[in-house]
C-alpha cells in the first residue's frame, strides 16, 4: 500500500441547492451532504474540466523543466513501470514526466477513456513521493503536433536547447523521433552529443501468472508491465491483477451533471455511466470497495456495474429515502482485490 499523498491546498465548491434528501443513516447522510456541498482536500481535484498542462516553451527564459531529469513515455496508466522511471529520475535530479498530448487526434486513433482520470493524476503522482526522495514528480506535456516530424536528433536537440533538460530516463524499449525511428541506444548517443545524461532502465516485468495466458497481438509486448495489460485486466474485472500492475487500487471517478445526477435510495447511490471520467472494469459485482468524496473515505461498499449504471451499495446503512438530487457531484470508488 502506498503512503498517503502529501497535503495540497484545499478548495471549496458550493453547489446549487434544490430538492430534499432524507438520510437517517449517518454515513449516507455525510455522503449526501458532501455531494451537495463538498470540500475538495488533498486530492488535486481543482480544475476538474481542465486538460493536462501543455508545456509551451517561452522564447526567452527557462522552461519549467530546465535543469531537471525527465522520464520519457506515454504515462497513460501511471503503473509501476512508469513509477520506476520516476524513481530513477529522482535519484539524479528533480523528476519530471514528459509526454505528449494530442497523439490520438493527430494519428487518427479512436478516442478511449483514460485509465487514470485527469483530475486524479496529481493524487497518484503525490503518492509516489515516498519512492522518489519525498518529491512528487511533476508532469508536463508537449503538443504532439509540434514534434511529430522531428528526427531523433532534432527531438534531443529540442530537449537540450529549448527545454534545458539536464538528463533523460527511458525504458529499454523506448522509441522516439519521426515514425519512431530512434531507439534507446540512439537516445544515449545523441544525449552524449548534447552533453545530457541518458539513463536506460530495464522494463518492469509482469510476473503474474495471468500474463502467461494473455493473448497479445502487440509486437512490443515482451511481458513487461504496460498500460495495455491494465486495460485488459480491467476488461475482465481482475482487480487484484489491476492493483498489482498499478501498485495501488484502481480509483474510478464519477462526476454527475444536471442531466445525469446521482440518485440516492435506501442504502444505494446510483450513477449513470455517462458520469465516468475514466475507465471502469467490466460489468459485475465488486466487493471490498470504498467510496470517497475528495480524498476522504466515507464508507466501505460494494459496487455493481451494469450496462448503463454504477450502483454503490453501502455496507453499514439504515433505511434511507431521497427526493431530489444535486448537480455537479463528484464521487470516487476505490476497488478492492476481489471480484464476484
Task: Read off the pLDDT of residues 269-299 as tens digits, 9 standing for 90 and up.
Answer: 999 999 999 999 999 999 999 999 888 888 8
Residue 164 shares a structural domain with residue 256:
no
- DSSP class of residue 220 equals T
pLDDT of residue 32: 58
Asked, for residue 237, whether it belongs to a domain, the answer is no
The answer to the question of residue 150 being in a domain is yes
What count of residues does the chain have? Answer: 340
State the DSSP string of 68-94.
-EEEES--SS--HHHHHHHHHHHHHSS
pLDDT digit string (tens) for 142-198? 999 899 999 999 999 999 999 999 999 999 999 999 999 999 999 999 999 999 999
Q: Does 126 fall in a domain?
A: yes
**Average pLDDT rounded to a whole number, residues 70-86:** 97
Q: Is residue 200 classed exposed, middle or buried when 0-12, 13-18 and 19+ CB atoms within 10 A define those classes? A: middle
Ramachandran quadrant class, 324 (left: phi over 0; alpha: psi -120 to 50; beta: rest): left
C-alpha 313 chain-centroid distance: 25
Instruction: Please tell me the predicted confidence (pLDDT) of residue 59.
Output: 44
What integer pLDDT is reported at residue 293 of this predicted model?
87
Name the residue range of residue 260's domain.
251-335
Entry pTM? 0.79
Phi, psi for 290 (deg, rounded to 5): -135, 145
The gap from C-alpha 95 to its chain's centroid, in whole angstroms, comes to 17
| 73 and 179 assigned to the same domain | yes
- Asked if pLDDT for residue 79 goes beyond 90, the answer is yes
Geometric angle at alpha carbon 278, from 334 and 148, rounded to 5°: 135
Do 76 and 180 reside in the same domain of the chain? yes
Q: Residue 168 carries which DSSP code? A: E
Grid cell for residue 322? 431521497
Per-residue pLDDT of 39-57, as tens digits, reads: 333 333 444 434 443 444 4
Which has the minimum average pLDDT: 1-15, 85-99, 204-218?
A: 1-15
Per the CB < 8 A criterion, the answer to whether 234 and 242 are in contact is yes
Range with the largest mean pLDDT of 20-24, 144-148, 185-189, 218-222: 185-189
Are residues 256 and 194 part of one domain? Answer: no
Show which of 201, 221, 243 is a domain's final residue. Answer: 201
Q: Are residues 187 and 120 in the same domain?
A: yes
Q: Which of 201, 224, 243 is the last residue of a domain?
A: 201
The predicted pLDDT at position 18 comes to 34
**pLDDT tens readout for residues 286-337:** 999 999 988 888 889 999 999 999 999 986 654 333 333 443 478 999 998 6
| Residue 47 lies inside a defined structural domain of this protein | no
The CATH number covering residue 150 comes to 3.40.50.620
pLDDT band at 105 (very low <50, low <70, confident <90, very high): confident
**Distance between CA atoms of residues 174 and 155, nearest Å:** 14
Please count the structural domains in the chain.
Answer: 2
Residue that has been written with the C-alpha cell 508545456 in this structure: 55
Query: Is residue 41 situated within a structural domain?
Result: no
Could you tell me if 82 and 194 lie in one domain? yes
* Cα 8 to Cα 223: distance, rounded to the nearest angstrom: 37
Domain-located, residue 296:
yes
Region 227-234: mean pLDDT is 96
Nearest to 87 by CA among 119, 134, 43, 44: 134
- Check whether residue 191 and residue 290 sit in a common domain: no
Grid cell 535543469 in the structure block, residue: 67
Instruction: Give the model's pLDDT for residue 257.
Output: 80
pLDDT for position 111: 87
- Whether residue 23 is contained in a domain is answered as no
Amino acid at each position: 500500500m502506498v503512503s498517503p499523498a502529501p497535503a495540497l491546498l484545499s478548495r471549496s465548491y458550493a453547489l446549487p441547492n434544490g430538492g430534499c434528501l432524507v438520510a437517517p443513516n449517518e454515513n449516507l447522510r455525510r455522503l449526501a451532504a458532501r455531494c451537495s456541498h463538498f470540500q475538495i482536500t488533498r486530492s488535486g481535484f481543482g480544475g476538474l474540466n481542465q486538460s493536462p498542462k501543455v508545456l509551451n516553451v517561452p522564447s526567452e527564459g527557462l522552461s519549467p523543466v530546465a535543469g531537471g531529469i525527465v522520464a520519457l513515455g506515454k504515462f497513460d496508466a501511471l503503473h509501476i513501470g512508469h513509477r520506476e522511471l520516476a524513481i530513477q529520475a529522482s535519484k539524479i535530479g528533480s523528476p519530471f514526466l514528459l509526454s505528449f498530448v494530442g497523439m490520438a487526434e493527430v494519428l487518427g486513433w479512436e478516442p478511449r477513456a483514460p485509465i487514470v482520470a485527469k483530475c486524479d493524476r496529481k493524487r497518484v503522482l503525490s503518492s509516489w513521493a515516498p519512492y522518489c526522495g519525498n518529491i512528487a514528480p511533476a508532469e508536463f506535456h508537449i503538443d504532439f503536433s509540434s514534434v511529430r516530424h522531428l528526427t531523433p536528433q532534432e527531438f534531443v536537440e529540442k530537449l537540450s536547447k529549448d527545454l534545458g533538460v539536464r538528463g533523460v530516463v527511458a525504458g529499454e524499449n523506448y522509441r522516439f523521433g519521426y515514425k519512431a525511428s530512434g531507439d534507446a541506444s540512439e537516445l544515449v548517443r545523441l544525449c552524449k552529443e548534447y552533453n545530457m545524461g541518458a539513463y536506460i532502465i530495464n522494463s518492469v516485468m509482469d510476473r503474474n501468472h495471468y500474463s502467461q495466458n494473455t493473448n497479445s497481438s502487440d509486437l512490443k509486448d515482451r511481458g513487461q508491465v504496460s498500460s495495455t495489460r491494465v486495460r485488459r485486466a480491467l476488461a475482465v474485472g481482475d482487480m487484484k491483477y489491476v492493483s498489482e500492475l498499478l501498485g495501488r487500487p484502481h480509483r474510478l471517478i464519477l462526476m454527475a451533471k444536471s442531466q445525469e445526477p446521482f440518485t440516492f435510495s435506501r442504502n444505494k447511490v446510483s450513477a449513470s455511466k455517462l458520469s465516468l471520467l475514466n475507465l471502469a472494469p467490466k460489468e459485475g459485482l465488486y466487493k471490498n470497495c470504498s467510496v470517497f468524496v475528495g480524498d476522504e473515505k466515507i464508507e466501505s461498499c460494494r459496487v455493481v456495474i451494469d450496462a448503463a449504471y454504477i450502483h454503490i451499495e453501502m455496507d453499514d446503512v439504515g433505511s434511507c429515502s431521497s427526493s431530489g438530487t444535486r448537480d455537479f457531484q463528484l464521487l470516487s470508488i476505490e476497488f478492492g482485490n476481489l471480484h464476484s
